[in-house]
């Protein structure tokens, strides 16, 4: 069994989960962005040491704030696959995969050839990670995770970067390997296909709590969520000018965009600048990890918000929905808003909007110095 009695607080948000799940099969977490799904995975993986309460797996205590017990991530072998893959940029694909093998610690798990074949990695082995597409990186990350022979596999929207055909090919292989080697899975997903393919039990999270166990609830707008939610957006990365404020808890960089605060992780290989308040830096974010809201939300965990003005809406250019032109401190950029079930209506031109970040932004002005993201 996986036993969770955990709580962690951030400004304006508290996650509190008390659950017992079988350490077999799959559990799917779904819910609005900022509900705490990724944070819960981080706690289970051992990446949130400050979380209060207890995490137990198959009778072994992984974390207990009362007794000050804390088993580090390598010993837990609860392998977390992030949305952005987190491959080592200084290693090519084959060496990234070999790193997974070094973490097996003699445990039985999927063998090399099986993983390479299942995730169609043969043609990628000699490639540098920076030359890979988003979908290729995600396939490598999944392969590396399985080669580590995890006790527990934690997946944060693992198929989000894959096209439909590739996802349809890989999902059955992932499900089969996890079933063959009895690897339990906890997966954050918004896809009913992933839920069904993994045979997962659905758990809906809202504002840091498990509120239901019915996948059908995904289509119901959350009355407890951010006011006037508009839905998710897609497109490419966006970079904006910001000011350096300081280093926050966990090593994140605190930045100021206008009157709003965002938190960012340091990008590998970024240039070194003087870490002085007021220093100008560039901050980038993935629009796919953004929720738009007309009103500043409360009670929802995020890595900050960005206030923007809506300049125009083009309903003909978006592939999945409307293409929004936005302005932040005079910088213009476009983002596509998808047809999300949470969206009650389109925004109007001239209306201020808030971009709520569900994962850290990235800075390119401060050098990587270590620390948690």
Q: Residue 103 and residue 101: Cα distance in Å, rounded?
A: 5
Nearest to residue 149, comparing CAs of 192, 98, 105?
A: 105
Q: Residue 4 and residue 137: Cα distance in Å, rounded?
A: 31
Cβ atoms of 323 and 282 within 8 Å: the answer is: no
Q: What is the pLDDT of residue 214?
A: 60
Q: What is the pLDDT of residue 271?
A: 43
Model confidence at 336: pLDDT above 70: yes
pLDDT tens string 150-164: 999 998 887 766 666
Binned at pLDDT 50, 70 and 90, residue 268 comes out as very low
CB neighbour class for 142 (10 Å; exposed up to 12, middle 13-18, buried from 19): buried
Nearest to residue 119, comparing CAs of 188, 185, 176?
A: 176
Binned at pLDDT 50, 70 and 90, residue 44 comes out as very high
In which order are the strands placed within the sheet that holds 26-30? 78-81, 152-156, 185-188, 26-30, 200-206, 209-212
How far is residue 248 CA from its own chain's centroid?
19
Q: What is the pLDDT of residue 344?
A: 44
Model confidence at 89: pLDDT above 50: yes
CB neighbour class for 275 (10 Å; exposed up to 12, middle 13-18, buried from 19): middle
Model confidence at 228: pLDDT above 70: no
In percent, the amount of the chain with pLDDT more than 90 equals 19
**Mean pLDDT over each residue of the chain, to the nearest integer:** 78
| Residue with more model confidence, 144 or 344 | 144
Stretch 61-70: mean pLDDT: 94
Binned at pLDDT 50, 70 and 90, residue 220 comes out as very low
Q: What is the pLDDT of residue 102?
A: 87
- Token pair in block for residue 227: 């006011």
User: Is the whole model's pTM more than 0.75, yes or no?
Assistant: no
Ordered DSSP codes for 241-254: EEEEEEE-GGGPEE
Q: What is the pLDDT of residue 372?
A: 31
Model confidence at 222: pLDDT above 80: no
SS3 sequence, 276-303?
CCCCEEEEEECHHHEEEECCCCCCCCCC
Ramachandran bin of 37, using left for φ above 0, alpha for ψ from -120 to 50, beta for the remaining angles: alpha
Ordered DSSP codes for 176-242: HHHHHTT--EEEE-S-HHHHHHTTEEEEEEETTEEEE--GGGGGS--TTSSTTEEEEEESS-EEEEE
Binned at pLDDT 50, 70 and 90, residue 127 comes out as very high
Model confidence at 224: pLDDT above 80: no
Q: Quick one: the chain helix, strand, coil %, rounded to 5?
A: 25, 35, 40
Give the CA dihedral 136, 137, 143, 144, nearest 10 degrees. Answer: 160
Binned at pLDDT 50, 70 and 90, residue 321 comes out as low
């Amino acid at each position: 069994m996986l036993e969770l009695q955990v709580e962690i607080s951030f400004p304006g948000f508290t996650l509190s989960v008390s659950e017992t799940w079988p350490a077999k099969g799959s559990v799917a977490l779904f819910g609005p962005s900022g509900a705490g799904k990724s944070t819960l995975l981080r706690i289970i993986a051992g990446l949130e040491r400050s979380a209060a309460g207890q995490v137990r797996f198959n009778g072994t205590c992984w974390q207990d704030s009362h007794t000050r017990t804390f088993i580090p991530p390598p010993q837990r072998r609860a392998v977390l696959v992030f949305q952005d893959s987190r491959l080592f940029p200084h290693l090519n694909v084959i060496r990234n995969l070999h790193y997974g093998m070094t973490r097996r610690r003699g445990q039985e798990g999927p063998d090399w050839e099986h993983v390479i074949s299942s995730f169609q990695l043969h043609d990628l082995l000699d490639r540098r990670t920076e030359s890979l597409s988003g979908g290729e990186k995600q396939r490598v990350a999944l392969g590396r995770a399985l080669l580590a022979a995890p006790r527990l596999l934690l997946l944060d929207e693992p198929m989000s970067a894959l096209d439909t055909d590739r996802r349809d090919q890989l999902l059955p292989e992932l499900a089969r390997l996890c079933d063959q080697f009895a690897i339990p899975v906890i997966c954050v997903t918004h896809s009913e296909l992933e839920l069904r393919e993994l045979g997962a039990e659905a758990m809906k999270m809202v504002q840091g709590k498990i509120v239901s166990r019915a996948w059908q609830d995904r289509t119901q707008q959350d009355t407890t969520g951010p006011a006037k939610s508009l839905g998710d957006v897609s497109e490419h990365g966006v970079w904006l000018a910001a000011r350096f404020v300081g280093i926050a808890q966990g090593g994140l960089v605190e930045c100021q965009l206008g009157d709003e605060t965002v938190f960012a992780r340091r990008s590998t290989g970024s240039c070194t600048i003087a870490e002085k308040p007021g220093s100008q830096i560039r901050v980038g974010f993935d629009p796919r990890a953004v929720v738009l809201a007309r009103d500043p939300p409360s009670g929802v965990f995020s890595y900050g918000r960005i206030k923007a003005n809506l300049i125009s809406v083009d309903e003909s250019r978006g592939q999945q929905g409307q293409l929004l032109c936005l302005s932040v401190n005079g910088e213009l950029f476009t983002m596509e808003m998808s047809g999300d079930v949470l969206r009650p209506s389109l925004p109007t031109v001239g209306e201020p909007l808030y971009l709520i970040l569900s994962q850290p932004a990235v800075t390119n002005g401060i050098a990587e110095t270590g620390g948690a993201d």
